Amino acid sequence: KAGVTQTPRYLIKTRGQQVTLSCSPISGHRSVSWYQQTPGQGLQFLFEYFSETQRNKGNFPGRFSGRQFSNSRSEMNVSTLELGDSALYLCASSPRTGTYEQYFGPGTRLTVT
């Protein structure tokens, strides 16, 4: 079975711009969660989507948003980028919603200059 895929793998953006990241979960998995990983804060939960509905949301500003399509693929968008948004963005897929095993993609490394 193919794993979780994320595109793009690397991205450089300028402050004030917006960015869209994409995630394709493992075939058959309907839950996609997004995380931000930084050296100082570790892995921070952004949000989870299941069957095209946002199930949970972490403590991030409204500039961070996401959506999920009928084929379970998910996108996250960050508007008005700030320097502090530089991070590794990881998505994880799971066959079920909630707190079950999650399998991570390779991540998108975002650098904001």
Partner 1 sequence: QKEVEQNSGPLSVPEGAIASLNCTYSDRGSQSFFWYRQYSGKSPELIMSIYSNGDKEDGRFTAQLNKASQYVSLLIRDSQPSDSATYLCAVGSNFGNEKLTFGTGTRLTIIP
Read off the tokens for 86: 């530089």
Residue count, binding to partner 1 (CB under 8 A):
22
Residue selected from 13, 20, 58, 60 as contacting partner 1 according to rule CB under 8 A = 58
Helix count and strand count (H, E) for the chain: 0, 11
Residue selected from 22, 65, 75, 104 as contacting partner 1 according to rule CB under 8 A = 104
Q: What is the DSSP letter of 84?
A: G
Q: Scanning residues 8 to 47, which ones bind partner 1 (CB under 8 A)?
A: 33, 35, 42-43, 45
Written as one letter, the residue type at 110 is L
| Residues of this chain that bind partner 1 (CB under 8 A) | 33, 35, 42-43, 45, 48, 55-56, 58, 88, 90, 97-107
